[in-house]
Structure 1
Amino acid sequence: MLALMLRSAYHAPNQREGSALADHMTDNLGPQPEIVLVRPQMGENIGAAARAMLNFGLERMRIIAPRDGWPNQSAVAMASGAGRVLDGAGVYDTLADGIGDCDYVYATTARSRDLAKPILSPERAMAEARAMRAEGKKVAILFGPERTGLENGEVARANAIISVPVNPGFASLNLAQCVLLTAYEWRRQTTEFQHEVMEWAGSERAPSIEVEKLAEHYEARLDEAGFFYPPTKAPVMKTTLRNMWSRMPMTRADVQIFHGILRQLLRGKQG
């Protein structure tokens, strides 16, 4: 089925055809995830990713620190009918800014990592994502730069990892290919989707910006206490700690409790 859809998408529509196609495909799809391109290196790949998104009805793109700046004429040329995705794209200087309003974040990677996180197939991840979006949660999916992929510090900010079961002898995927696979699974879930929705007992999941501030609070206080020792191991220790915070399914109340615990401990020490 995917092969047939890819063959049909090979034809590059003109602007009028692309607009009509997009209107048709985005009808009745409901809330969408945020497709986040982290430090993309080539405008052509950004444009190709936009086409892949619109092929499956997705329009919400965010771009983090594009190497060649923005706007990018190469991206516009490659988008070929999917310019509306680029027109609406948000551009951010840092990943923290780009996902700060999101409740749940997936990181796509083909490489094995030493970070303890749930690792999901695109199919399972998009089923989860659609369930969360149906509840009004904002979901982001991170895609790394073409040459190196996401760095460990970037993956550490995600709640879970999406890993495509590719050939282990040649695991490299083009940026647009990876976006297309994920967008395809999202689209497929519109009619073939059954997933048990996680209940939060009347509480609200903490958005990424609140978890980020909590991580910064603990990192600063632990740094003052000399926890990150020896200095040569400090970066790895900080990344591990960040990964722990993002992996925990915390509510907003949980975040406030953790802030309160640390403040009280410091207050007691000063007293």
Structure 2
Amino acid sequence: MLDQLRVVLFRPKYPENIGSVARACLNMGVSDLVIVDPYNFNMDKALPLATAHARHVLETAPIVDTLEQAVDGCTAVYGTTARTGGWRKGIMNPDALAGVVDERLRGGGRVAVVFGPEDKGLTNEETSICSGLMTIPTSREGTSLNLAQAVVVVLYECFKRSLDAPFVPDGPPEERPTTVQEQATLFDNLQETLLAIDFLKDDNPDYWMLPVRRFFSKINLRRNEFNLLMGVCRQVKWFVNAYGPDKKNADK
């Protein structure tokens, strides 16, 4: 039911939590679990929390070195955070995230939801790979959630959406969604193009690109649309190189 949804645990600290997450994944129909650079992982400690039912989810979960490897092939990535403000804008709650995930999955994409280390969460650098961020509102008296608790809350909302609106093919297949890697290539190209036409300033262009990134995170960008935008960037940069101010000054 949620075959194209991936749960990514980034540098989890406790093997027991990993086992509990595997069980939560099974409960909500998710079998794609990826673990990134876990601290002191111990299968013997994790398995009892997974229970015999979710043993296969845990034992087949790949362990990789980097977040980029964990989200390889995904068309959208959403990170979880307890911190807000600063660069962390437009943060969704679990229900809103479930709606976005549902839309992406219906479009034929593969979506990853990333959960950071239990003690620190994801850094700004790690969230930069994400299409959007999500936080779980809690009482002020207890703002900290166990990792498996957070996973089951998010997956439950996604599972409810899949039950209310089952995935039924409708009409001819569309162009495939772009992968996260392709989106990163497009953002780099867009940034170069916007710098070339002086839309972005040289002082901290990454910051001024944030609204552009947030805009594209709302769009389930297809491969043909990716090709279109890459072509536009290529032509704009060619025009600037051929006829821009620097070229005119050089010809004088």
TM-score interval, normalised by the smaller of the two chains: 0.7 to 0.9
Q: Label 1:224 to 1:258 Cα distance change in 2 as closer, same or farther (>3 A).
A: same
| SS, match of residue 37 in structure 1 | strand
* Equivalent in 104, 116, 123 of residue 95 of structure 2: 123
Q: Label 1:210 to 1:170 Cα distance change in 2 as closer, same or farther (>3 A).
A: same
Q: Label 1:189 to 1:244 Cα distance change in 2 as closer, same or farther (>3 A).
A: closer
Trace 1:136-215 onto structure 2 (pairs within 5 A).
136-193=108-165, 202-215=174-187
* Equivalent in 62, 65, 80 of residue 90 of structure 1: 62
Contact 1:115 1:243 in 2 (8 A): no
Show the counterpart of 2:238. 267
Give deviations 1:3-24, integer Å, cap 9, x for gaps. xxxxxxxxxxxxxxxxxxxxxx
Contact 2:191 2:205 in 1 (8 A): no
Q: Label 1:67 to 1:247 Cα distance change in 2 as closer, same or farther (>3 A).
A: farther
Question: Matched residues in 1 for 2:147 and 2:218: separation?
Answer: 25
Give deviations 1:151-189, integer Å, cap 9, x for gaps. 222223222322222113432111111011112223333
Show the counterpart of 2:225. 254
* Equivalent in 37, 41, 56 of residue 65 of structure 1: 37
Q: Label 1:101 to 1:71 Cα distance change in 2 as closer, same or farther (>3 A).
A: farther
What are structure 1's unaligned runs of at least 5 residues?
A: 1-28
Question: Matched residues in 2 for 1:221 and 1:73: separation?
Answer: 52
Q: Displacement, 1:224?
A: 10
**TM-score normalized by the length of structure 2:** 0.74
Question: Matched residues in 2 for 1:247 and 1:117: separation?
Answer: 13
| SS, match of residue 163 in structure 2 | coil
Pair 1:75 & 2:46 matched: yes
Show the counterpart of 1:43. 15
* Equivalent in 53, 56, 61 of residue 28 of structure 2: 56
Trace 1:92-111 onto structure 2 (pairs within 5 A).
92-111=64-83
Contact 2:108 2:176 in 1 (8 A): no
**TM-score normalized by the length of structure 1:** 0.70
Cα RMSD, aligned residues only: 3.6
Q: Displacement, 1:41?
A: 1.9
| SS, match of residue 117 in structure 2 | coil
Q: Displacement, 1:246?
A: 4.3
| SS, match of residue 130 in structure 1 | helix
Partner amino acid, structure 1, of 2:80: T
Q: Label 1:88 to 1:115 Cα distance change in 2 as closer, same or farther (>3 A).
A: same
Q: Would you say how many aligned residue pairs link Structure 1 and Structure 2?
A: 238
Q: Displacement, 1:66?
A: 1.9
Pair 1:113 & 2:85 matched: yes
Q: Displacement, 1:240?
A: 7.2
Contact 1:127 1:193 in 2 (8 A): no
Identity, % of aligned positions: 28
What are structure 2's unaligned runs of at least 5 residues?
A: 243-252
Show the counterpart of 1:6. none
